[in-house]
Amino acid sequence: MISGASRGIGLAVARNLYQAGFSLSLGVRDIEAMRKTVEDWDTSRVLISKYDAVDKGTHKTWVDTTAEHYGRIDGLVNNAGIMQPVSVDDGEFNEKGLDLMWSVNVKAPLSMTCLALPHLRKCGSGRVINVASLAGKAVFGNGVGYSMTKFAAVALSHATRHGGWADGVRCTALCPGYVATDLTSSIETVSLDDMISADDLAELVNTVISLSNTASVAELIVNCRPDIVG
């Protein structure tokens, strides 16, 4: 299961895992657009379901539909995420933006984890990847809101790892720096050519979920420049 598979990192992960032979369940807001994106893929290995992070009903329906369709769920990539401007210098801080980020970046991945965990436990080698961020390991500048949600996503990853461990569930917090996607298109300090490619991250996700239960990667920090972290 991959959330936010419509573009950026999510689409790169979907493409990589599809090419590696995985069967996919893609959670997206626009099902028709996703169908067009994967129109030349083998539909017997690609299920597309509605997933809107801010609509909890879609979380359960996506999990139930996936379990029913494939008879099992062995992996969850909580990838969908947003960035809203919330700074300590805002005067009156952007509460609407922060609430939306909490919903999409934190509460929805938690909800998805709770719903998928019983299935992941059953298969004995379930995998969860939370696409957090380098901003979940260190704070860069005064943009506090996004970082707060990504620190929380790292916390969720560790709790999932502890909670699911005995049943073979392994969870990784993926913590990349700048990745060349729509999310970073307005960044001027680093050029798109100098950012991490989504395809490289997808290859790392493939590796991490393919490792055996005795080689768990708790956090994966990936950077395109020599920051203090990573």
Active site residues: 146
CB-based burial label for 189 (10 Å; 0-12, 13-18, 19+): exposed
Nearest-angstrom CA–CA distance, 56 and 61: 9
Binding of ligand NAP by 51 (CB under 6 A): yes
The residue (of 85 and 124) whose beta carbon lies closer to ligand NAP is 85
Q: Which of 22, 62, 151, 178 touches ligand NAP (CB under 6 A)?
A: 178
The residue (of 114 and 190) whose beta carbon lies closer to ligand NAP is 190
Q: Which of 23, 61, 94, 184 touches ligand NAP (CB under 6 A)?
A: 184
Binding of ligand NAP by 82 (CB under 6 A): yes
- DSSP states along 111-151: HHHHHHHHHHHHHSS-EEEEE--GGGTS--TTBHHHHHHHH
Contact characters 7-46, ligand NAP, x per CB under 6 A: xxxx------------------xx----------------
Binding of ligand NAP by 52 (CB under 6 A): yes
The residue (of 22 and 178) whose beta carbon lies closer to ligand NAP is 178
DSSP bridge partners of 170: 127
Answer yes or no: are the C-beta atoms of 64 and 118 closer than 8 Å. Answer: no
Q: Are strands 170-176 and 127-131 parallel, antiparallel or unpaired?
A: parallel
